[in-house]
């Protein structure tokens, strides 16, 4: 019947403290069914402190958030267990952190500063409460890194875990940077890592744990949020969050802008960790992860020619009069990234 | 790996028109797997026209929406197949309409006007595209009724259908009406129907289709959105959307306000349709649906004593110095509503 959810949190206070006597001792054995809807919401809310921009947070029909710019930036990402994460490969703190990062990066990619998350969490009744609590911790930690907080949401029962994360953001007077403004002659630059998450996933699939830095990025990417507003200030003509792979996401920019993009492989030199992972996996070419791996949530931006870029921006190519994305002036199958439903 | 979703819509245009030649003829046989992520997004976007408050809609990393009040109201509701809807009991247009109504009503319950939805849709690969298209039609129709539009979202693959609907709204300068402001002496009033959805569900469970008006409300409730801002203008001291049942939701108001609420059964007379349904189901008491049935998404509001209420508001009780909700001055088990995870 009807959900209500986090917005309805006015139930028993104290979360896990409110165990019914029939529940076995031991944190890990308390399930969400034991705690019930309102007890679970209280337990999660306790791990997600309210941020300064939150006028009304968890506990009413809806949250009320400051939107000082008089415009609000909004996006949603879904994470489905078995598709976007595996509980045997990632712990709940990591999954919460990754879920938050994924949506918050989309806000940064418009040139905005993240302000809040609204989180929907569908879980099985037999899920241990500590798992959900750790997920909330991860959500809150990544929010804090981005300057945002969790302001509301909903919970529901489902056979497998589904996370729906809406992120909101504020443009602080800037014009939103879309995918459609790239012009021939513009520089193409990237802030953040490329290919690390894909390499980490390949390692996990092969049962390997090293290089650990790559596995860590796969489990919990750390997008460079402040690079988004910085790019807007620097005059970015277009911007996108690299979620599906550099080649595919730049393809969206090229298509939306009616331009071509040529990227230079020499500027995308895989780092030591990627080379080590490629060697460990039997001699793969690590450049493939850089070109087609998603989920690091780097930002790819086009800037007017001659823009003086701070050090973290790496110029990787140029916009031209053509169409689509080319590698060293040629079309390349190595640029294909992730697609759903295939 | 990474979702991207509606915010990434820059793929093949035209949706269903882009069939691959291997797909069997017949609308109903095209699946989301046939169409692919970007084709599906295009097909859905075509059914969800952009609203006037949408600065940037479907097609970028995030949407940008007008927030003229400099605050934004935000909420999310999850709908899980088999829990919140059944495909054999409700068609996709109804499910889309209901999903939208559920979240939009939470915006109205803060005293705000709905502006936009951000929709996450997790679906099986073999789902017919027409089902998803009809869902989008329902979402768009209910949005239009509320003065809002669908501005973005995400799609993903999942074994069962999960809908995550974030609604946003604008307060137009009004103070948000929370659950916490009810004061002893206030009137308790309701706008919208009570118990119709629960009666409709009971009819469906029994294999009955009449009274059809009740089944229709269960499939697609029609909350009185403009009653929310109207209540705020009339000086509402507290407000809640009835999603889990009148007794339970007024219990949230009582707890948050530190007050008691006494409702009078004589003011909650079940209407002719509810009486007919109760008779058809073997002599149930239809008042139980009115007291404990959720999902009609009526608004329950407390007003200062003596407030001159327009005709659609029905006074059903009064706030007092006590605690909890009472029926005719006594505690009653008939006031319990829906709970998750039990």
pLDDT by residue (tens digit) across B56-73?
Answer: 999 999 999 999 999 999
Q: Residue B253: which of A283, A94, A185, A8 has the closest Cα?
A: A8
pLDDT of residue A195: 97
Q: Report d(CA B308, CA B288) in Å as an integer.
A: 29
pLDDT of residue B19: 32
Assess whether pLDDT exceeds 80 at residue B25: no
**If you average pLDDT over residues B315-341, what whole number do you get?**
87
Q: Are strands B299-303 and B187-191 parallel, antiparallel or unpaired?
A: antiparallel
β-bridge mates for residue A325, sequence order = A261
pLDDT of residue B38: 86
Query: Chain A residues with CB inside 8 Å of B65's CB?
Result: 71-74
pLDDT of residue A253: 98
Interface test with A, best of B3, B129, B251 (most A CBs within 10 A): B3
Which uninterrupted H or E stretch holds A251? helix A246-257
Least confident of A47-51, B15-19, B38-42, B244-248: B15-19
Query: Chain B residues with CB inside 8 Å of A166's CB?
Result: 74, 76, 118, 164, 166
User: Does residue A10 or residue B140 have the better pLDDT?
Assistant: B140
Compare CB distances from B62 to A7, A74, A256 and report the shortest one's residue: A74
User: Does residue B2 or residue A285 have the better pLDDT?
Assistant: A285
Query: Chain B residues with CB inside 8 Å of A160's CB?
Result: 158-159
Q: Which residues contact A106 (CB under 8 A, 6 or more apart)?
A: A75, A77, A167, A241, A243, B7, B61, B62
CA A308 to chain CA mean position, Å: 28
For residue B76, give the chain A residue with the closest CA.
Answer: A153
Yes or no, beta carbons of B243 and A169 under 8 Å apart: no
Q: Report d(CA A244, CA A262) in Å as an integer.
A: 18
Burial of A234 (0-12, 13-18, 19+ CB in 10 A): middle
Q: Report d(CA B197, CA B221) in Å as an integer.
A: 7
Yes or no, beta carbons of A3 and B178 under 8 Å apart: no
Is residue A167 within 8 Å of residue A109, measured between CB atoms? no
For residue B174, give the chain A residue with the closest CA.
Answer: A64
Is residue B58 within 8 Å of residue A68, measured between CB atoms? no
At residue B72, φ and ψ (nearest 5 deg) are: -130, 140
Q: What is the DSSP letter of B83?
A: T
Query: Chain B residues with CB inside 8 Å of A198's CB?
Result: 1
pLDDT of residue A97: 98
When the pLDDT of each residue in chain B is averaged and rounded to a whole number, the result is 90
For residue B152, give the chain A residue with the closest CA.
Answer: A75
Confidence of residue B17 (pLDDT cuts 50, 70, 90): very low
pLDDT of residue B20: 35
Q: Report d(CA B224, CA B211) in Å as an integer.
A: 21
Q: Report d(CA A231, CA A178) in Å as an integer.
A: 12
Burial of A87 (0-12, 13-18, 19+ CB in 10 A): middle
Q: Report d(CA A144, CA B48) in Å as an integer.
A: 34
Assess whether pLDDT exceeds 60 at residue B342: no
Yes or no, beta carbons of B71 and A65 under 8 Å apart: yes
For A71, other C-beta atoms within 10 Å of its C-beta total 24
Q: Residue A203: which of A273, A291, A138, A265 has the closest Cα?
A: A273
Query: Chain A residues with CB inside 8 Å of B176's CB?
Result: 55-56, 60, 64
Q: Residue B168: which of B244, B233, B71, B236 has the closest Cα?
A: B71
Yes or no, beta carbons of A80 and B1 under 8 Å apart: no
Q: Report d(CA B213, CA B166) in Å as an integer.
A: 28
Q: Residue B253: which of B200, B175, B187 has the closest Cα?
A: B187
Q: Report d(CA A51, CA A170) in Å as an integer.
A: 14
pTM for the whole structure: 0.91
Q: Report d(CA B78, CA B108) in Å as an integer.
A: 18
A-to-B residue pairs, Cβ atoms closer than 8 angstroms: 319
SS3 A10: coil
pLDDT of residue B337: 64
Assess whether pLDDT exceeds 70 at residue B150: yes
Q: Report d(CA A153, CA B166) in Å as an integer.
A: 9
Q: Report d(CA A82, CA A64) in Å as an integer.
A: 33
CA A280 to chain CA mean position, Å: 27
User: Which segments of chain B does DSSP mark as H helices, in order?
Assistant: 32-45, 92-108, 129-146, 196-205, 212-219, 227-233, 246-257, 272-280, 287-292
Query: Chain B residues with CB inside 8 Å of A156's CB?
Result: 78-80, 83-84, 340
> How do residues B196-231 score in pLDDT, each as one tens digit?
999 999 999 999 999 999 999 999 999 999 999 999
Q: Report d(CA B119, CA B163) in Å as an integer.
A: 7
Is residue B95 within 8 Å of residue B79, measured between CB atoms? yes
Flag residues of chain A having pLDDT under 70: 1-28, 337-342
Interface test with B, best of A74, A168, A195, A245 (most B CBs within 10 A): A74
pLDDT of residue A197: 96
Q: What is the DSSP letter of A49?
A: P
DSSP structure string for A311-327: TT-EEEEEEESS-EEEE
> How do residues B244-289 score in pLDDT, each as one tens digit?
999 999 999 999 999 999 999 999 999 999 999 999 999 899 999 9
Counting residues of chain B whose pLDDT is more than 90, the rounded percentage is 86
pLDDT of residue A337: 64
Which uninterrupted H or E stretch holds A290? helix A287-292
User: Which segments of A189-245 does DSSP mark as H helices, in order?
Assistant: 196-205, 212-219, 227-233
Interface test with B, best of A36, A164, A168 (most B CBs within 10 A): A164
For B330, other C-beta atoms within 10 Å of its C-beta total 7
Query: Chain A residues with CB inside 8 Å of B63's CB?
Result: 73-75
Q: What is the DSSP letter of A240?
A: E
Q: Are strands B314-320 and B187-191 parallel, antiparallel or unpaired?
A: antiparallel
Total number of residues shown for chain A? 342
Query: Chain A residues with CB inside 8 Å of B168's CB?
Result: 72, 74
At residue B252, φ and ψ (nearest 5 deg) are: -65, -40
Yes or no, beta carbons of A1 and B72 under 8 Å apart: no
CA B58 to chain CA mean position, Å: 22
């Amino acid at each position: 019947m009807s959900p209500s959810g986090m917005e309805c949190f006015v139930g028993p206070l104290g979360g896990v403290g409110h165990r019914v006597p029939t529940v076995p001792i031991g944190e890990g054995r308390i399930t969400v069914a034991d705690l019930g809807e309102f007890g679970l919401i209280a337990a999660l809310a306790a791990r997600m402190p309210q941020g300064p921009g939150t006028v009304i947070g968890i506990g009413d029909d809806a949250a009320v958030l400051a939107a000082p710019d008089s415009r609000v930036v909004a996006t949603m990402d879904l994470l489905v267990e078995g598709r976007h994460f595996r509980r045997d490969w990632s712990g709940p703190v990591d999954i919460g952190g990754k879920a938050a990062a994924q949506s918050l990066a989309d806000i940064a990619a418009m040139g905005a500063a993240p302000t809040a998350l609204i989180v929907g969490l569908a879980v099985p009744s037999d899920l241990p409460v500590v798992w959900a609590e750790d997920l909330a911790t991860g959500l809150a930690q990544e929010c804090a890194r981005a300057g945002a907080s969790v302001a509301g949401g909903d919970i529901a029962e489902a056979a497998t875990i589904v996370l729906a994360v809406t992120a909101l953001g504020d443009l602080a007077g800037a014009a939103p940077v879309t995918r459609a403004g790239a012009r021939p002659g513009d520089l193409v630059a990237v802030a953040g890592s490329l290919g690390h998450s894909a390499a980490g996933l390949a390692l996990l699939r092969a049962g390997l744990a090293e290089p650990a830095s790559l596995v860590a990025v796969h489990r919990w990417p750390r997008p460079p949020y402040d690079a988004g507003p910085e790019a807007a200030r620097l005059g970015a003509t277009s911007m996108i969050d690299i979620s599906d792979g550099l080649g595919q996401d730049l393809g969206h920019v090229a298509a939306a802008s009616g331009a071509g993009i040529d990227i230079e492989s020499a500027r995308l030199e895989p780092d030591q960790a990627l080379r080590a992972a490629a060697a460990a996996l039997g001699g793969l070419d690590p450049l493939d992860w850089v070109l087609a791996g998603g989920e690091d949530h780097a930002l790819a931006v086009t800037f007017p020619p001659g823009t003086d870029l701070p050090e973290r921006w790496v110029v990787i190519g140029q916009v031209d009069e053509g169409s689509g994305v080319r590698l060293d002036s040629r079309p390349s199958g190595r640029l294909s990234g992730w697609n759903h439903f295939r």
